[in-house]
Amino acid sequence: MRFVDLINKKKQGGNLTRDEIHFIVEGYTAGTIPDYQMSALLMAICFKGMDKREIADLTLAYVNSGDQIDLAEIEGIKVDKHSTGGVGDKVSLIIIPLVASAGVHVAKMSGRGLGHTGGTIDKLESIDGFKTELTRDEFIHNVNTYKMAIAGQSANLTPADKKIYALRDVTATVDSVPLIAASVMSKKIASGADAVVLDVKVGSGAFMKSLAEAKELAETMVEIGKSLNRKTIAIVTDMSQPLGREVGNANEVKEVIEVLEGRGAPDLTIVSLTIAAHMAVLGGAYPDFDKAYTALELVIKTGKAVEKLKQLVKIQGGNPDVIENPEKLPQAKYHFEVKATESGYVTAINAEAVGVSAMLLGAGRKKKDDQIAHAAGLTMVKKIGDKVNKGDTICILHTDMENCEEAENMVKSAYYFSDNEPQPINYIYEVIQ
């Protein structure tokens, strides 16, 4: 098989066979196919797409490239959740204690930040001592005993996806429905959960910018999940602005505590409760979504949810005092206020630009080996629909850098104003099951 013929086949809109897909994935992972040929093929896939059979074969080729985790020793239905990535997306940290409080086994595998989007593992590591690398036995013990565990993905879980993702990141080939679907679903299948809730983000801070693309991605992933006997639900949620008020790491943990104490921003609280309620139904704790949603609201009101977060921090070696005293989380040296350049309503926020600003402040990585500054980030003081006067503070930058002009200018230009009040934003667009 000559790789150049496969690039040409896809360029002409042809379908790759199962053998061809395995040859591509195995060859690239093993290093026998160079980056330039793989890049050309990925770009051809971006333009010509893949049919359902090709996407399922690509998913399985990723799964077979590494280890698969066997969670059979965990009793009951194991439920996982995955987001396609957003800015200020701290939902995973909220749903773990919430769903576990309902008695469902939450076996959560999470990643680090990618590009302008944040990563749950980076956020957790802002808690002093929190261990994100668990052995298989520790992971299984914690899920069986406390109904919850969270760990970074092991190095050998879907290594093909890891290598191809890194190439996609630098060749403008991330935002492709077949490539995202195979990447996300392979990780969920390899990590052994029985049921998965997918949070498909749409808007300026997401990889999918239009509702039509996000729906297509959601439907594709649900089909793959079902064809591989995983109960799968995809929820299309808003990412037209950062989710909640905090973007960063330690400040996002603080916001997680606020949501679990019932003091959270409405968008973040509603999206989190919706995802958690679907997980709780899939896990068999409630007969339907409405009952689950109401019960989980009560879990927050009674203080059980925040206690469960404290327990999660404790069992994974973190300092549980931060839950009652969030000021013990890392704090930045400097706080710069960004002022509105005109009066009016905030009508749009370029969430991707906010994500890049957070990275420039130190909250994310420019290069894959960069260290994160856990205290760095932004507080979105004003969001879409808020009325402002020229000179009002719209955002606060938290950083250890004395000069952060580039990030400040980026945030300023991320805000759009108008005299006309915008329509309220939908937080949840579609639930596909």
**Contacting residues toward ligand URA, per CB under 6 A:** 84-85, 165, 174, 179-180, 183-184, 207
| Least gap, CB of 82 to ligand URA (angstroms) | 7
Does an H or E element contain 413, and which? helix 405-414
Q: How far is the CB of 161 from ligand URA (least distance, A)?
A: 7
Catalytic pick among 82, 163, 188, 398: 82
Find the shortest distance in angstroms from Cβ 373 to ligand URA.
Answer: 23
Which CB atom, from 228 or from 381, has the smaller least distance to ligand URA? 228
Give how far Cα 145 sits from Cα of 106, 107, 148, 311, 366, Å: 11, 12, 8, 11, 39
**Residue 387 a catalytic site member:** no
Strand partners, 286: none
Provide, rounded to whole angstroms, the least separation between the CB of residue 263 and ligand URA.
30
Least gap, CB of 207 to ligand URA (angstroms): 6
Which amino acid is residue 244, in one-letter code? G
Q: Residues 191, 80: contact at Cβ < 8 Å?
A: yes
Which of 217, 305 has the CB closer to ligand URA?
217
By beta-carbon proximity to ligand URA, the closer residue of 23 and 207 is: 207
Residue nearest to ligand URA according to CB distances in the complex? 183
Is 183 marked active-site?
Answer: yes
Q: Which two tokens stand for residue 291?
A: 């009952």
Counting DSSP H helices and E strands in the chain, the numbers are 17, 13
Q: How far apart are CA 70 and CA 411, in angstroms?
A: 44
Q: Closest Cα partner for 123 from 260, 318, 296? A: 318
From CA 342, how far away is CA 228, in angstroms rounded?
53
Backbone angles phi, psi at 14, to 5 degrees: -75, 165
- Residue 81: other Cβ atoms inside 10 A: 27
Q: Could you confirm whether 82 is annotated as catalytic? A: yes
Which is the catalytic residue, given 116, 187, 308, 398? 187
Token pair of 365, please? 């990585």
Q: Which of 110, 154, 176, 183 is catalytic?
A: 183
- Among 161, 194, 199, 267, which one carries the catalytic annotation? 161
- Choice between 115 and 284, CB closer to ligand URA: 115
Burial code (b: 16+ CB inside 10 Å, e: under 16) for 120-156 equals: bbbbbbbbeebbbebeeebbbbbbeebbbbbbbbbee
CA distances from 163 to 6, 102, 138 (A): 19, 37, 27
Nearer to ligand URA, 151 or 396 (CB): 151
* Closest to ligand URA by CB, 85 or 283: 85
Residue 119 Cβ, how far from ligand URA at the closest point, in Å? 10
Which residues have a catalytic role annotated? 82, 161, 168, 183, 187
